[in-house]
Structure 1
Amino acid sequence: MESQNYKNHTRFYAPHHFVFLPLLIILEVIGIYKVFNDEQNQLSWILFSAVIFLIFYLAIMLRQHYALVLQNRIVRLEFRQRYFEIFGLRSDDVEEKLSFGQIAALRFAYDEEFKMLLEKALKENMTGDEIKKSIKKWKPDFHRV
């Protein structure tokens, strides 16, 4: 398996990203084309295009919403567990000072870098992207959505 890093850490779900969504886009393009080129059935094609657009919108929003809400909860729990394992303390005070983006970015760092980057994030208020770019040895996560 390829080594994971900042440039290749995004993931795709093939049936959704490469079959279902492109099919909806093709149907939407056909519908819009027909709106302007089939005057007899123009109202039907407008309705068709509107329905396809709504299905497309819902498919993207619902899939992302459900997956991300659950993933965000797991990332926070993972941070709390890891913080406790490293420092032997509850993470409540530290977690309140960090944004979710910072917490999510810290999970890609191994323990030694995690400690250093956590301190730096708290002192310098680094963004999640800055934290990710600062990681020298990337801890891959091949199981996220």
Structure 2
Amino acid sequence: MQNYKNHARYYPLHHFVITPLTLLYFIWSIVKVIQAFDTDLFAHATYHLLGALIILILPILSRLYALKNQDRIIRMEMRLRYFELTGKSLRELEPKLRLSQIIALRFASDEELLSLIDETIKNDLRAKVIKQRIKEWQADTRRV
């Protein structure tokens, strides 16, 4: 059962394998450039550093793309839920809500969503506070 305390997700291959290995390679490359300074191996070490930088950026960039896409899907999902519950468009309220608030509100059940939206707008609740106020948590196990 998902709730506020256990809703954070890690993707083991990304968080515990690829990212640490690329970071380790990048750090190793920096050390090699420093060691090779003023030697014939400096160009070779710099070449490795450039490659390590590219390899370090790739998993970060792919993660950012996935998260941006997920944010768009969550916004569309919340627009649909709000319309189903009220028959009105959420677009009128969206300028009053930050994306982080909309993302937090998606965990609320249909029964508490509308009151939480009103309370969030009225009191400018932070995402963490919104999640803590949810009584009937709607699990989201398919996110990135």
Shorter-chain TM-score above 0.5: yes
* 8 A contact 2:104–2:127 mirrored in 1: yes
Counterpart among 12, 21, 24 of residue 22 in structure 2? 24
Alpha-carbon distance, 1:6 to partner = 2.2
Comparing 35-44 with 123-132, greater Cα deviation is found at: 35-44
Distance in structure 2 (CA, Å) of the matches to 1:101 and 1:25: 28
| Stretches of 4+ aligned residues off by more than 6 angstroms | none
Distance in structure 2 (CA, Å) of the matches to 1:97 and 1:66: 25
**Match status 1:12 vs 2:14:** no
Matching residue's letter, 1:48: H
The corresponding residue for 1:143 is 142
Distance in structure 1 (CA, Å) of the matches to 2:97 and 2:31: 48
Distance in structure 1 (CA, Å) of the matches to 2:24 and 2:68: 29
CA-to-partner distance for each residue in 1:72-96, whole Å, 9 max, x for gaps? 1111111111111111222221223
* 8 A contact 2:18–2:59 mirrored in 1: no
* 8 A contact 2:3–2:139 mirrored in 1: yes
Comparing 7-16 with 134-143, greater Cα deviation is found at: 7-16
What is the number of residues matched between the two proteins? 142
Q: Secondary structure at the match of 1:69?
A: helix
Comparing 78-87 with 47-56, greater Cα deviation is found at: 47-56
Matching residue's letter, 1:81: L
Distance in structure 1 (CA, Å) of the matches to 2:4 and 2:131: 7
Q: Secondary structure at the match of 1:80?
A: helix
User: How large is the RMSD of aligned CA atoms in angstroms?
Assistant: 1.9
Identity of aligned pairs, percent? Answer: 41
Matching residue's letter, 1:53: L
> 1:31-46 to 2 correspondence within 5 Å?
31-38=29-36, 39-46=39-46
Tell me the TM-score normalised to structure 2 length: 0.85
Structure 1 stretches lacking a partner, 5+ long: none
Q: 1:63 to 1:47 in 2, by over 3 A?
A: same
Distance in structure 1 (CA, Å) of the matches to 2:78 and 2:131: 15
Distance in structure 1 (CA, Å) of the matches to 2:26 and 2:97: 42
Alpha-carbon distance, 1:40 to partner = 4.4
Structure 2 stretches lacking a partner, 5+ long: none
Distance in structure 2 (CA, Å) of the matches to 1:134 and 1:54: 42
The corresponding residue for 1:109 is 108
Distance in structure 2 (CA, Å) of the matches to 1:40 and 1:56: 26
